[in-house]
Structure 1
Amino acid sequence: MAEPAQQGKFVTGNTFRHITTMSLTASVGLMAVFSVDFISMIFIAMLGRAELAAAVGYAGAILFFTASFGIGMGIAVGALVARALGARDTLAARRASSHGIVIGTGFGVVFAAVIWAFLSPLVTLLGATGETHDLTVHYLAIIVPSQPLLMVGMIGGAILRSHGDARRSMMVTVWGALANAALDPVLIFWMDLDLTGAAIASVASRVVIAVMAIVPILRHHGGFDRPSVPGLLEDLRPVFAIGLPAILTQVATPIGQAFVTRAMAQFGEAAVAGMAITGRLTPVAFGVLFALSGAIGPVIGQNYGAKRMDRVRRAFLDGLVFTGLVILLVSGLLFVLRGPIADLFSATGLTRDLVFLFCGPLSLLFFFNGVIFVSNAVCNNLGRPFQSTLVNWGRHTVGTIPFVIWLGAWYGAPGVLVGQAVGGVIFGAWALWMALKVIEKPGRAEKGLFDREGRLMALFNLRK
């Protein structure tokens, strides 16, 4: 028998306020992590070796790929927990949390082992050669084994957000970022470890993130049920029903980025360094929008669990308005500060040109990526996760590759960045249309969250 509980906090109140609060707090934690990567990039640039900066750029594409698995599993577990809370079922929420953490961690171990075994060919595939290739492999060989810790941290943070615990979910990554920021200068400069020091600092940060995600769940949200083998096997279905499409959705981005990295490599290390700077700058500048997809998910999930489709629709529209406001504000700041930003990295020549291009018109086009983020949250939480998979893969394949090849051939390295942005306009419009259709006809839920023995049943039926 499920435990009675107060209904989720997002089922009442102003949805725009909920979205704003959750997005801003989530973005603080997210930007804390990205800011440390940004600072690490500055430290590496201060060493004055272009191959080190290029190595971080190449590594970033693979680390983005590995992080996508954690994001996807976090989306799955968070959606299940939020929906259970919206239905006033704390037993379902606790069991989804427990089994989601175990499944995600196990998946992370296997995934990290596979990536680690194939690091050299993966880096070669990105276009890295010579010393830059060797530095990239060395850097990744230290960080990749800590992938399971990152999975725990991401899934734990998603569970906290599903409970509406914005502050504690924010602090998960803030503490990790502080640990990284403190260790970076010590290891890179004081201990003279260069790229190795940056990698060790990142691993230590992931340890902190995992601990800070688990502790508040244990202390403030009922903790975890003891997992059982039969329960885990049965709960694979609902977790992977959302998790696999969500992972595929997230993986599309780094695969598209990997192609862009390889396309940029033909224009030299200065072009790759410029792309690496813009790659680090993007999540810092638009961290609020990167956080929006995970932040709006619990709002949508709880209201869907409570059968309040009017509030689901309102939350979606509020998310689009929020996206537009953020884009206008951030793009204006980037344009005004484009000179100091380039100077911060001692960027000259082609590298500086790419930074200026990003801080100009390209940042405005990021609005359409924001539309995709919000639309993906709708599809993932309303039982249509494969729709978001289609949008993301389309955006990062046919919406990226032809434009990058075409515009790169005509305009060189700047054309590669422009080509990457153009496809977002087309697929942003498609994502908007698809999300509205999903709101009209969401995935059908099973009759109950549990069977007679209390095991979590499939929460989403993907059949139309």
Structure 2
Amino acid sequence: MASPAGHISLSDGKVSRLIIRLAIPSIVGLSLNALQQFVNAIFVGTLGAQAIAAVSITLPIILLLTSVGQGIGVGTASFVSRNLGAGNSLEASRGASSALALAAPIGVALTVALSLSLRDVLALLGASPTMMPAALDYASMLVFGYTLMLLNMVNGFIVRAEGNTRYSMWTMITSFALNALLDPILMFSLDLGIRGAALATLLSQIAATSLYALYFGKQCGIVRVRPSYITLKGGRVKQIAAIGAPATVTGILSAIASLLLNRAAAPFGDHSVAAVGIAVRLLTIGALPIMGLCIGSQSVLGFSWGAQDFARVQKAAKFMLSVAVAFSATFSAVVVIFARPIVRLLSDSEGVAEIAVSTCIMFHLFFGLFGVQYVVITMLQSFGRARLSAVVSFARQGYLFVPAILLLPDIWGFDGVLISQAAAELVAGLLAVFVILRQFGDLKGRLPSRPTSGEG
């Protein structure tokens, strides 16, 4: 299969080198996304504790909306990469075109539904009367631009699945630079406050979506997005939905987990809500590079699985695991050791800082296991194993976390909030270790049926 300029052939090169070439642009792009959140947090932090709490209280909405794009994107990327590995680029193009056609009306429907009930939703999330105006200003602007953000996410997954992670990286760099430039202008020069932060994010998303439209419009990739390729053929949509649904549900569980965290912290005051928001933001910053590694590498796993080159699948998965665990363990140690100076960057409030230090430490104690969790989820998605993917995906913020956050705060107060997150992370990580060992055993059993590729 010929690769257009800017693409990396998924069948060429040493596995570890190929993964690095594909993953680095994704890591850079998603790390910039994390840095963008960090920069936004610094600017918002200058507006006071209520502004930080208002942004934190809207996090479940953002996670809910993002989860839909994540689900459609993951399902489409798995479909595209496996069909490219099998040599069927036409079917990959049909799947990509159909996914984008489904994403647009879904985005519009969610935008309308949330816009009509935003105040009630924020009240349900625990927004106090003092933070409600700021929360409405921030959330309403983000919800308004959601359809474009959804299309942007799905486009990014398609581009990375066909091997052009560099274009995705430069799109994210453009988005970050624009957001960083507009934040101080809109928030302070134009005196828009927290609404300015949301507007800066919206405008940067519009720019990214425009770049993806240009990419597909000029047919720069292997995958073609055309109206004539849009079909709702049951088997195709079912494959995308089966792999994407666990990712969407995981995102919904993240939103529910964030809601429960905020509601559990709310009785202890706005400072506690802000502290939890800071800790969750740091978790996101640590998670995004690992997600970037896995998203960039997923095309290799899916392509190799589609080509039934199981030796190559095994080599790719082992390399991903070593890198992901090394990073997540290092990030965990850095946050635990340097929690106080990190928190000081995100809040000028003494009351928030004191609570946030202990919160960040507890939330990151077992973050070293997150690398295992995300690698095994990515493997299962690439293999098309939807049910087992769901079991691992739902653990960390679903059936392990929810009972803990509902029970432990009543027993140990705010310490129960902190223990809930740490305990869920630990048990979910151990589950992922068990599953990935089983997956490696299964891959080893498949090797005799297929000669090794001879790659390193």
TM over 0.5: yes
User: Which residue identity does 2:270 align to in structure 1?
Assistant: E
Structure 1: runs of 5+ lacking an equivalent: 443-464
Aligned counterpart, 2:61 = 62
**Which amino acid is the alignment partner of residue 199 of structure 1?**
A
Determine the structure 1 residue equivalent to 2:277.
276
The residue that corresponds to 1:298 in the other structure is 299
Structure-2 separation of matches of 1:47 and 1:246: 34
**Match for residue 261 of structure 2?**
260
User: Tell me, what secondary structure is at the counterpart of 1:193?
Assistant: coil
SS at structure 1 position matched to 2:145: helix
- Counterparts of 1:23-422 in structure 2 under 5 Å? 23-48=23-48, 50-217=49-216, 218-222=218-222, 224-228=224-228, 231-234=231-234, 235-349=236-350, 351-357=352-358, 359-360=360-361, 362-422=363-423
Q: CA deviation at 1:59?
A: 0.9
Q: Deviations over 1:372-424 (max 9, x none)?
A: 21111122121112322233333323311333344434554344133112112
Higher deviation after alignment, 89-98 or 255-264:
89-98
For residue 164 of structure 1, give the secondary structure of its aligned residue in structure 2: coil
**1: CA distance, partners of 2:294 / 2:112:** 29
- The number of residues matched between the two structures is 438
| Helix, strand or coil at the partner of 2:58 | helix
Alpha-carbon contact 1:83-1:304 (below 8 Å) kept: yes
CA distance in 1, matches of 2:242, 2:356: 40
Displacement of 1:437: 4.5
Give the distance between the partners of 2:199 and 2:130, measured in 1 at CA.
20
Q: Deviations over 1:66-123 (max 9, x none)?
A: 1111111110111111112111222222222222221222222222222323322221
Residues 362 and 421 of structure 1 are in contact (CA less than 8 Å); yes or no, is this contact kept in structure 2?
Answer: yes
1: CA distance, partners of 2:88 / 2:199? 41
Once the two structures are superposed, what CA deviation does each residue of 1:34-63 show, in whole Å capped at 9, x if it has no partner? 222221221121123x22111100112211
Deviation of 1:350 after TM superposition, in Å, equals 5.0
Preserved CA contact (<8 Å) 1:171 1:212: no
Q: Deviations over 1:166-208 (max 9, x none)?
A: 2111122221121111111011000101111112111111101
In the aligned structure 2, how far is the partner of 1:185 from the partner of 1:167?
A: 28
Amino acid at match of 1:36: Q
2:22–2:297 Cα contact (<8 Å) kept: yes
SS of equivalent residue, structure 1 residue 120: helix
Structure 2 Cα separation of the partners of residues 438 and 336 of structure 1: 34
> Could you tell me whether the CA contact under 8 Å between 1:369 and 1:424 is conserved in 2?
yes
Q: Quick check: 1:84–1:93 contact (8 Å CA) kept in 2?
A: yes
Structure 1 contact 5–88 (Cα < 8 Å) conserved: no
**Residue identity opposite 2:313 in structure 1:** V
For the residues of structure 1 that align with 2:268 and 2:341, how far apart are their CA atoms? 25
Q: Which consecutive aligned stretches of 4+ in structure 1 deviate over 6 angstroms post-superposition?
A: 439-442
Alpha-carbon deviation of 1:270? 0.4
Letter in 2 for 1:160: V
The amino acid across from 1:282 in the alignment is L
Q: Matched residue of 1:9: which SS? A: coil
- Alpha-carbon separation, structure 1, partners of 2:433 and 2:196: 43
Provide closer, same or farther for how the CA distance between residues 110 and 157 of structure 1 changes in structure 2, counting only shifts above 3 A: same
Q: Deviations over 1:339-391 (max 9, x none)?
A: 32222234555522443235546424112222221111122121112322233
**Gap change, CA 1:214 and 1:289, over 3 Å in 2:** same
Letter in 2 for 1:375: V
Q: 1:390 to 1:285 in 2, by over 3 A?
A: closer
* AA matched with 1:182: L
The alpha carbon displacement at 1:231 in A equals 1.9
State the partner residue of 1:452. none
Q: Assess if the C-alpha contact under 8 Å between 2:149 and 2:209 holds in 1.
A: yes
Letter of the structure 1 residue corresponding to residue 246 of structure 2: P
Q: What secondary structure is seen at the aligned counterpart in 2 of 1:129?
A: coil
The 3 A distance-change label for structure 1 pair 185 and 347 is closer
